[in-house]
Structure 1
């Protein structure tokens, strides 16, 4: 594809030892050490109490990440079209359903069933924010983040509207973990605009590439990058945190990668 130019207004990030963008940015800049720590997420207060009781880790992660990005962009979440990109969505819920189906009592609860669909976060986001704008849900194996970024950038450009991307992954319990090992739960949010605004953090030019993906110098962050599909975005997030111009490559599928030119 020819280069697609979009702009970033807000960033959200939650993961092990990364508790929101304000906490994560100095660690990505190298000003504070990064260490793996238990994931701590804010309660999903935007949901009604009845809905709040039904949700699991995947939805809490997606909501926290999305609200973090929207807050930094100073945008009304009800006004933004959304793209949710995740390899497995609610992996714990999938495990519980399969466990039930393998037991003598194979009755699956309605709550587990409706939380099993891949666009579950999009539905809860609309309940939490009152958003009536269009929403797209994707999965693309290890290309989860790149696919989401391409989709959100395309929508922002075509519709001439700011668009929210939320890419997130959680881990399957065993025995599925052995087949699809995702090391940690982590979510990334970006508010993407078709034009520069007074709140623009950086401009991105996106194009296809055959070059290898860009690694990180920090060993702990690099292990996180290769261990979680949504965090193949870490080189981009590091460039945004450092406010630096950079040419980088993000994993896509096979030998086709996504090249990103970052201009703060």
Structure 2
């Protein structure tokens, strides 16, 4: 099954060793080495200072790449419907919640409880941007990036309007890290729109019943390999290297072919 073509108007990428799409693209192309020092966690500047201080890593990384993608696309964030995708959500807060419920259940932090829900980042984004546009929050375990991309493209095709797609994962903590491992912070975002922008990259998706995925093979791979969102890298390698396409694993018995022109 093939979906109508969309255009990619804006791209953002952030990890502690690849803090920005320009940096990541240069490393992927072999034009530059990654910075030796890890970048500090981004600060979600669109939030009020109080909310900014309380924002967990999931919110910080998601809002950073979302804002950068909108800026690259020259789109108003408040006007875009959005899709937020995360493999595990905030495992650090989940670990805190589980430990506190065992030891001192009456001392659960209301703020941490508030931030434990899977759509917390999307909620902060809508509050920070003053947006009344619809948003979707989803997870598909190891196939999360592909599933979120498919959802965002489907919304563009069905509604005929631009959509912001944001994917992110953070460091796993405590016992959960043994069954849901993830290291570091990684976020990526795209602004997708109906075809019409002559200078934008066109993208097409096709679903079939053949599993399999294009492997990552750039110098950036080792820098994010242990993050749960690492399966997104072949997509950004294809963009950076202007490859005609790639394949993402969509499920145990399905694949997602992505082509660019």
What's the TM-score once normalised by structure 1's chain length? 0.91
For the residue of structure 2 that corresponds to 1:18, the secondary structure is coil
For the residue of structure 1 that corresponds to 2:229, the secondary structure is helix
Distance between the aligned counterparts of 1:77 and 1:6, measured in 2?
19
Q: Which residue of 2 aligns with 1:169?
A: 169
Distance between the aligned counterparts of 2:43 and 2:79, measured in 1?
23
Cα 1:84–1:36 change in 2 (3 A) is: farther
Q: Which residue of 2 aligns with 1:74?
A: 74
Distance between the aligned counterparts of 1:225 and 1:172, measured in 2?
14
Is the contact between residue 211 and residue 249 of structure 2 (CA under 8 Å) also seen in structure 1?
A: no
CA RMSD of superposed structures (Å): 1.9
Structure 1 residue ranges without an equivalent (≥5)? none
Q: Which residue of 1 aligns with 2:213?
A: 213
Structure 2 residue ranges without an equivalent (≥5)? none
2:257 matches 1:259:
yes
For the residue of structure 1 that corresponds to 2:5, the secondary structure is strand
Q: Which residue of 2 aligns with 1:178?
A: 178
Of the structure 1 ranges 134-143 and 37-46, higher mean CA displacement relative to structure 2 is found in 37-46
For the residue of structure 2 that corresponds to 1:11, the secondary structure is strand
Distance between the aligned counterparts of 1:203 and 1:227, measured in 2?
30
Cα 1:5–1:36 change in 2 (3 A) is: farther
Match of 1:249 among 244, 247, 250: 247
CA deviation after TM superposition for structure 1 residue 155, in Å? 0.6
Of the structure 1 ranges 38-47 and 80-89, higher mean CA displacement relative to structure 2 is found in 38-47
Cα 1:251–1:229 change in 2 (3 A) is: farther
CA deviation after TM superposition for structure 1 residue 251, in Å? 2.1
Aligned pairs (5 A) from 1:100-249: 100-198=100-198, 200=200, 202-209=201-208, 210=210, 212-218=212-218, 221-223=220-222, 227-242=226-241, 244-249=242-247
Distance between the aligned counterparts of 1:139 and 1:33, measured in 2?
32
CA deviation after TM superposition for structure 1 residue 87, in Å? 1.3
Residues 8-56 of structure 1, C-alpha deviations (whole Å, 9 max, x = no match): 0111111131111122111122211246752433321211122112211
Residues 153-193 of structure 1, C-alpha deviations (whole Å, 9 max, x = no match): 01111111110000001121121101111133200100001
What number of residue pairs does the alignment pair up?
260
Cα 1:50–1:35 change in 2 (3 A) is: closer
Is the contact between residue 2 and residue 204 of structure 2 (CA under 8 Å) also seen in structure 1?
A: no
Residues 55-98 of structure 1, C-alpha deviations (whole Å, 9 max, x = no match): 11110000001011111111111110000000122221111111
CA deviation after TM superposition for structure 1 residue 223, in Å? 4.2
Q: Which residue of 2 aligns with 1:20?
A: 20
2:43 matches 1:49:
no
For the residue of structure 2 that corresponds to 1:67, the secondary structure is helix
Q: Which residue of 2 aligns with 1:8?
A: 8
